[in-house]
Copies of this chain bind each other. A is one copy, B any other.
Amino acid sequence: MTQMQEARAGRITPAMEMAAQREGLAAEFIRHGLASGTIVLPANINHKNLEPCAIGHGLRTKVNANIGTSPEFPDLDKEIEKLEAALAAGVDAVMDLSTGGDLNVIRREILKRCTVPVGTVAEYQAMVEARRKYGNLIEMTEEDLFNTIEQQARDGADFITVHCGVTGEGIERLKKEGRITDIVSRGGAFMAGWILHHNRENPLYEQYDRLLDIAEKYDVTLSLGDGLRPGCLADASDRAQIHELIILGELVDRAWERGIQVMVEGPGHVPLNQIEANVILQKRICKGAPFYVLGPLVTDVAPGYDHITSAIGGALAASAGVDFLCYVTPAEHLGLPSVEDVREGVIAARIAAHAADIVKGAPGALAWDLEMAKARKALDWQKQIELAIDREKAVRYWQEKNIKDKDENKGKEECSMCGEFCAMKVIGEHLQCDRNKSHKLYS
């Protein structure tokens, strides 16, 4: 039985217990959310070393890191290094988007080393293998596609992205729309290309029940990909995007009818003032299914800094109700990320998630900031570093800027920004002095 089916039967599973504990909430809260579909608990029955983590309404905003080889960089070791960097930086889930090297070996290795939920994209492996088998990716057969999905599910993928919402009707709408960047989702572009080439409907849409069968067997959480997500601000929230969202909403209903866990993916490149509308719309059309967004990026002009453009959009999206943020690294739009890019990407997305969690009232969120504020007021540098979202960077910066003498292992009380003119110190002394006086200030 899937976690959703168990929840509907009124049972609290060990996975629900563990997820609840990590969240600081009652297991019944998780069970209720799972039963109603507003929470997912991606936990493939074959992912043995998983520490379950729930995603959805009322929970801490989660962060995903995409890793994986590419045709030009098929090095498994490098991707394992990225996996470890992402885990060390506090990521909540990882997607293996490999398209270079032996994809089955890579996925199994990542799953073996990964205690957080692992996601995949069904179509990537299918198109890579079709390219190898037939010399052209577009020659992939329906059987190839479903066999790949079954393979990924059997190996233990906790969630699988499937671009079921890219349909012939949607492509017609896209063509009428006159988009600037057409399609920027790899899976979406591939399925659209397949539909156009074969003049056939998307098998993931047409044979959606077959997909649900596989998902049910291994308790894979389906992540309904937004193949027509906007690839630039000018394409955001257009008819093609919203039409696909409506289809995804219908597919959420059909998954829920069978007790299959499902979440919905979202944009993309979105102007700041359209973000909240996108979240409200997804939550309404998909009846509260968890919302997983890539970004959103609030401008197109900052290659090299898209961890920042997406932290802006992600914070706003999450505060409006998004449950799950896919990180974007500084390498986005320029090439495959390095280990350092992965690390920067995870921290930027975690900052966005945490800024939103404060607003959402997630348990413990504001308390963390309060502790930091008290450590700052006390000029307690040790404590400030312990509380930093990235201790390693905080301590490195602090040491570089404050410890001139290498034999000295602690800096001054105040930092090198203000030195003796430290506001905290100046006002602290005078307020203390004032408290010791009996009189009231002249005013």
Contacts from A to B (Cβ < 8 Å): 70-73, 99-100, 124, 127-128, 131, 137-138, 167-169, 171-172, 175, 180-186, 188-190, 192-193, 195-197, 199-201, 231-235, 271-273, 298-305, 307-309, 311-312, 315-316, 319, 330-336, 338, 347-348, 351-352, 354-356, 358-359, 366, 368-370, 372-374, 376-377, 384-385, 387-390, 393-394, 396-398, 400-402, 404, 415-424, 426-431, 433-434, 440-443
Contacts and interface: CB of A to CB of B under 8 A. Distances in A.
A316 B356 CA distance: 13
A271 to B, nearest CB: 5
A200 B426 CA distance: 17
B370 A180 contact: yes
Given A301-B387, A311-B312, A355 B423 contact: no
A396 B334 CA distance: 10
B420 A71 contact: yes
A303 B351 CA distance: 11
Given A71-B420, A199-B441, A426-B193, A355 B186 contact: no
Contact of A273 (B70, B185, B311, B359): B359
Contact of A441 (B171, B271, B389, B397): B171
B319 A70 contact: no
Contacts of A184: 423-424
Contacts of A428: 182
B298 A401 contact: no
B442 A200 contact: yes
Given A312-B351, A418-B99, A390 B305 contact: yes
A191 to B, nearest CB: 10
Interface core residue of A169, A298, A424, A427 (most chain B CB under 10 Å): A427
A309 B192 CA distance: 38
Copies of this chain: 2
A298 B355 contact: yes
A255 to B, nearest CB: 23
17 contacts: A71-B421, A172-B440, A183-B427, A186-B423, A188-B423, A188-B427, A190-B423, A193-B427, A196-B433, A196-B441, A272-B359, A302-B347, A302-B351, A305-B348, A305-B351, A312-B351, A335-B397
Contact of A376 (B232, B271, B441): B232
Contact of A233 (B189, B272, B369): B369
A384 B167 contact: no
Contact of A416 (B70, B272, B434): B70
Contacts of A100: 419
Given A201-B443, A335-B401, A423-B188, A373 B180 contact: yes
Given A234-B373, A308-B348, 4 more contacts: A128-B421, A167-B443, A182-B428, A235-B373
A235 B374 CA distance: 11
Contact of A423 (B185, B348, B352, B427): B185
A168 B443 CA distance: 6
A309 to B, nearest CB: 6
Nearest to A316: B316
Contact of A370 (B234, B356, B396): B234
A307 to B, nearest CB: 8
Contacts of A315: 272, 298, 312
Given A196-B433, A355-B299, A421-B127, A180 B374 contact: yes
Nearest to A440: B172
Given A233-B358, A308-B308, A441-B195, A300 B376 contact: yes
Contact of A168 (B124, B193, B424, B442): B442
